[in-house]
Amino acid sequence: MHILIVGTGYVGLVTGACFAEMGHTVTCLDIDENKILQLQQGKVPIFEPGLNELVKRNLEQKRLRFTTNYQQAVESSIVCFIAVPTPSKSDGSCDISFVETAARHVAKYMNGYKIIVNKSTVPVGTANRVAEVIREERGNSVLFDVVSNPEFLKEGAAVQDCLKPDRILIGSSSQKAIDIMKEIYAPFTLNHDRLLVMDTLSAEMTKYAANAMLALRISFMNEIAEVCKKVGANVNEIRKGIGSDSRIGYSFLYPGVGYGGSCFPKDVRALIAVAKNVGCDPLILQATDEVNEKQKQMMGKKILGYFASRGGVKNKTIGIWGLSFKPDTDDMREAPSLVLIEALLEAGAHLRLFDPVSIPKAKTLLKNSPHITWCESEFQAAQGSDAIALLTEWKQFRLVDFQLVKKEMKGIAFFDGRNQYKPLDMKEKGFDYISIGVPDQLQTSKWP
């Protein structure tokens, strides 16, 4: 099948490469000429495990191509997926203008029946709006269907998620479109049927509900962690205790420094806006967002609190391990590290920053500052540091030579934003170890 993917970002590029891998002929289109130029040469502009090989192989075998030319791309494809950004507006609602613009461009060059597929995460009713945009552009001169096919891949495991999806949602009331979509996804469902067919409104709502539920679990655990710390309980035990209940399960029960990334924060806010727009009072969704905002500030407050009785954080050196919003990705969008870095710079600290892959992206987001040193390893980030803060649980931080780390450091404070280590072990190694939701007596005797 000839497929067009409009928008060659985390979702579009991964989806396009996976469709090509399954034997489809795929054109990936983007308005970013530089990105397309790089991709045409087999250079993948994002970090995603397994993606480089997939792109290279399918490019070489000519099942995958990259272009900025809408006309050629639309004319040669039957199905046009739209995977462009849907950022938050200033009031939190979802800006679907990128989707509308992409749909308008596709409409312009439609030369026969086409299926336009919304893969971007969009508010309920957007499939209808896309159909309206196409009619505005072309009147009744073209035959088409608009399908909602939200994406559930996780950055960091996007290729695997795309090749082996838990489920594939198809929102449509057109049997012709449903049959073609089933054909596209047939290679992904050989093992067992993973297709869920429903109306477009329900498909659009399912995506938001799924992300809101996951974000809710994280905020819930962050709130429980705060209570744990105050009452002397250990949130790490609570996580195991409740996760073992099959009705709850273990996933997404880790307390931390707050959720970030390009999806959860904006999608929760967009769903709040959708709910309010129809006269609902989304109390749980609002609390999810508020708890997360508070959680992102928490690490900065802990560090400032620790140094308050040690001469203040001004001119102290803090090493930060991990910048991306989660491991195995270079995505820095809404990363909690950005909030911490801003707070510490404002307080006059010097920062030594290390991340295995996201430093180039972090450099574009952070203003050049004489108080930032970019480091090439966790040990370099530790050099001369009064404290270390771990923000992203990259695997390479799991088994670290802490004797070496301590030798490099000036101070002994270790702030663990992902509860990666055993408090008593860290205490024995000589650290003032401060993690999330663990009472002070279990972490350090020196905590004020």
Ligand X SMILES: NC(=O)c1ccc[n+]([C@@H]2O[C@H](COP(=O)([O-])OP(=O)(O)OC[C@H]3O[C@@H](n4cnc5c(N)ncnc54)[C@H](O)[C@@H]3O)[C@@H](O)[C@H]2O)c1
Active site residue ranges: 263
> In the complex, what is the shortest distance from the CB of residue 113 to ligand X, in angstroms, rounded to a whole number?
22
> In the complex, what is the shortest distance from the CB of residue 218 to ligand X, in angstroms, rounded to a whole number?
15
> In the complex, what is the shortest distance from the CB of residue 296 to ligand X, in angstroms, rounded to a whole number?
19
Residue pair 358/331 in contact (Cβ under 8 Å)? The answer is yes
| Residue 88 β-bridge partners | 94
Measured from the CB atom, the residue of 229 and 333 that comes closer to ligand X is: 333
**How many angstroms separate the CA atoms of 432 and 55, rounded?**
46
Q: 306, 298, 229, 214: which is closest to 261 by C-alpha?
A: 214
> In the complex, what is the shortest distance from the CB of residue 2 to ligand X, in angstroms, rounded to a whole number?
18
Q: 31, 208, 16: which is closest to 105 by C-alpha?
A: 31
Measured from the CB atom, the residue of 13 and 353 that comes closer to ligand X is: 13
> In the complex, what is the shortest distance from the CB of residue 266 to ligand X, in angstroms, rounded to a whole number?
7
User: For strand 2-6 and strand 144-148, is the pairing parallel, antiparallel, or unpaired?
Assistant: unpaired
Q: 217, 292, 220: which is closest to 257 by C-alpha?
A: 292
Measured from the CB atom, the residue of 65 and 229 that comes closer to ligand X is: 65
**How many angstroms separate the CA atoms of 74 and 5, rounded?**
10
Q: SS3 of 170, please? A: strand
Q: 417, 419, 414: which is closest to 433 by C-alpha?
A: 414
- Both tokens assigned to 280: 């609902």
Q: SS3 of 321, please? A: strand
Edge-to-edge, what's the strand order for the sheet holding 144-148?
64-67, 25-29, 2-6, 79-82, 114-118, 144-148, 168-171, 195-198
Measured from the CB atom, the residue of 98 and 188 that comes closer to ligand X is: 98
Q: Which residues bind ligand X (CB under 6 A)?
A: 6-12, 29-32, 35, 83-86, 98, 101-102, 120-121, 151, 153, 155, 262-263
Residue pair 221/229 in contact (Cβ under 8 Å)? The answer is no
CB neighbour class for 111 (10 Å; exposed up to 12, middle 13-18, buried from 19): exposed
Measured from the CB atom, the residue of 77 and 385 that comes closer to ligand X is: 77
> In the complex, what is the shortest distance from the CB of residue 12 to ligand X, in angstroms, rounded to a whole number?
6
Measured from the CB atom, the residue of 105 and 217 that comes closer to ligand X is: 105
Q: What is the DSSP string of 243-282?
A: HTSTTT-STT----S---SSSHHHHHHHHHHHHHHTT---
> In the complex, what is the shortest distance from the CB of residue 102 to ligand X, in angstroms, rounded to a whole number?
4
Q: Which helix (H) or strand (E) holds 399?
A: none
> In the complex, what is the shortest distance from the CB of residue 32 to ligand X, in angstroms, rounded to a whole number?
4
Residue pair 280/348 in contact (Cβ under 8 Å)? The answer is no
Residues whose CB falls within 8 Å of the CB of residue 206, separated by 6 or more in sequence, listed in order: 150, 169, 198
How far from the centroid of its chain's Cα atoms is residue 4's Cα?
A: 24
> In the complex, what is the shortest distance from the CB of residue 319 to ligand X, in angstroms, rounded to a whole number?
28
Torsion angle of C-alpha atoms 109, 111, 113, 117, degrees rounded to 10: -20
Residue pair 113/143 in contact (Cβ under 8 Å)? The answer is yes
Residue number of the CB atom closest to ligand X: 9
Measured from the CB atom, the residue of 84 and 388 that comes closer to ligand X is: 84
Edge-to-edge, what's the strand order for the sheet holding 413-416?
372-374, 350-354, 317-321, 387-390, 413-416, 432-434
- Both tokens assigned to 347: 């307080």
Measured from the CB atom, the residue of 73 and 177 that comes closer to ligand X is: 73
